Amino acid sequence: MQFNTLNDIDFNSKVVLVRVDFNVPIDKKGNISDDRRIREALPTINYLIKHKAVAVLMSHLGRPDGKVVEELRMDKVAERLSKLLKKHVIKLDDCIGADVEDDVNELQAGEVCLLENLRFHPEEEANDPGFAQGLASFSDIYVNDAFGTMHRAHASVSGVPQYLPSCAGFLVQKELEMLDKARKPKKPFLVLLSGAKADKIDLIKAMVPKADNLFLGGVLGNIALQAKGIPVGKSTTDQEAVKIAKQFVSSKKIILPEDALAANKIDEKAKTKIVPIAQIPKNWIIVDIGPKTIKKLQGIIKKSKTIFWAGPPGIFEIKKFSKGTKAAARAMAKSKAIKIVGGGDSADAIAKFKLEKRFTHISTGGGASIAYVEGKELPGIKALIESKRRFG
C-alpha cells in the first residue's frame, strides 16, 4: 500500500494517538442509541492493547462549533467503550495541554484513555498547525481509524500525520478494500442514489460512465425530473443542481421513478395517494416511490452483480412513507450481488429493517464513502501517504 498499516509498525511501549470516529447518535435522554461506530474500532484498539501500546483515543461528537457543550462530552462514550472492551477506559477532561500530557505520561503499556471532544476547540476544524502539533506532542505514533472523517481536512485527520510516523487502522483498511469493489465493480453495476439532500450531484456525474443502471430517487430524483421538465409539486429540490442535472439526465443509464406516493404534508397523519410521476398534485410532496417503480427497481436489482446504495428513496422514518425503501432494501438483501452501502441514512434504514447481516459492507462514513467512490482524493489518505514518505 502507499501508506503504512498496523502490521508495519512496532507499537511495544509506544504512546499511540488514535483518531477514531465515535460520533455516535445520542438520544433525548443523553444515551447512546447506536454504538456501531464504537464497535467497528475495537479490532484496532484491541490490537494496540495486545501489542503493549498506550492507546490514546481522540474523536469528535456532534457539532459544538468550537465551544464546550456539556451534552457533547465524551464521558458516555468512554463508559460504553469500557463495557465493549471489558477494560476500564480513562476519560480525560481535554485533548491538548500540559495536564493532558501529564496524564498520558502516567499511563502504562496496554492502558487506554479517551480525550475530550476535539471540536470543543475551533482549531480542530480549522486544521490549525499549532493545534495539530499540540495533539502530536505527547505521542510517538499516529493511527487513523476514523474512516468517517477521512474526507475532512481537519487537524486530527490531516494535520497530526505531518508530525508523527503514521498508519491506517483496521477499519480504514477494511473500508477502502470494500469500497474499491464499487470503484471497480463486477458488471452489471447498479447505483442507487437518493436521500434528502442534493449533495450527491457530483457522484451522479462520476457514476454515469461506470454504472450500467443509475437509479435516482428522493431529492436527486426530484432534481432529475425537473431537469427533464417534469413538475414535482412542492417536493424538495435544488435549482442549481437542476442546471447540472441537465448535463446527464438524458443518459439511457438514468432510471427515474415512474410513479410515486404523494402526500399533502410530511406527517404520519398526512393524506396520501399513488400517482404517475408526471401528475404530482401542485401543492403535494413526493414522499416515496410507487409500486410500478418498486417492481422495476426489484427487477434491476435481481440482475445486478454489484450494487452501490447511498440514500433511501423515501422518507422511511415515517412508517406510511417507508414501503419503497423497505422493498428496495429487502430486494438487495435477497440479491447475490456484492452490496455496498454508503453509510448515512441508508445504513439507518437497513438497521431499522434488521437486514444488516445480508449486506456485503455497510460503511461507517456517508460523506467519506461517497467521496471515495466518486474518485476524489481524501485528505486523510493523502496525509497517511505523505507521512510514510516523510517517516518511512
Beta-carbon neighbour count of residue 102 at 10 Å?
A: 10
**Helical spans, DSSP H, in 73-200:** 75-85, 98-105, 122-125, 129-136, 170-183
DSSP state of 20: -
Catalytic residue among 221, 344, 365, 380: 344
Which candidate in 218, 221, 311, 367 is catalytic? 367
Q: Look up 324 and say whether it is catalytic.
A: no
**218 neighbors 317 (Cβ within 8 angstroms):** no
Q: Which of 39, 87, 183, 197 is catalytic?
A: 197
Residue 200 region, left (φ>0) first, then alpha (ψ -120 to 50), else beta? alpha
Alpha-carbon Rg for the chain in angstroms? 22
The residue among 12, 6, 20, 55 whose CA lies nearest residue 144 is 20
CA gap 147, 19 in Å, rounded: 9
To the query of whether residue 97 is one of the catalytic residues in this protein, the response is: no
Q: Is 388 a catalytic residue?
A: no
Active site (annotated) includes residue 119:
no
Would you call the peptide bond into 188 cis, given omega within 30 degrees of 0 as the criterion? Answer: yes
Backbone region of residue 54 per phi and psi (left: phi > 0; alpha: psi in -120 to 50; beta: other values): beta
Indicate which residue of 14, 19, 37, 200 is catalytic. Answer: 37
Catalytic residue numbers, as ranges = 37, 197, 344, 367
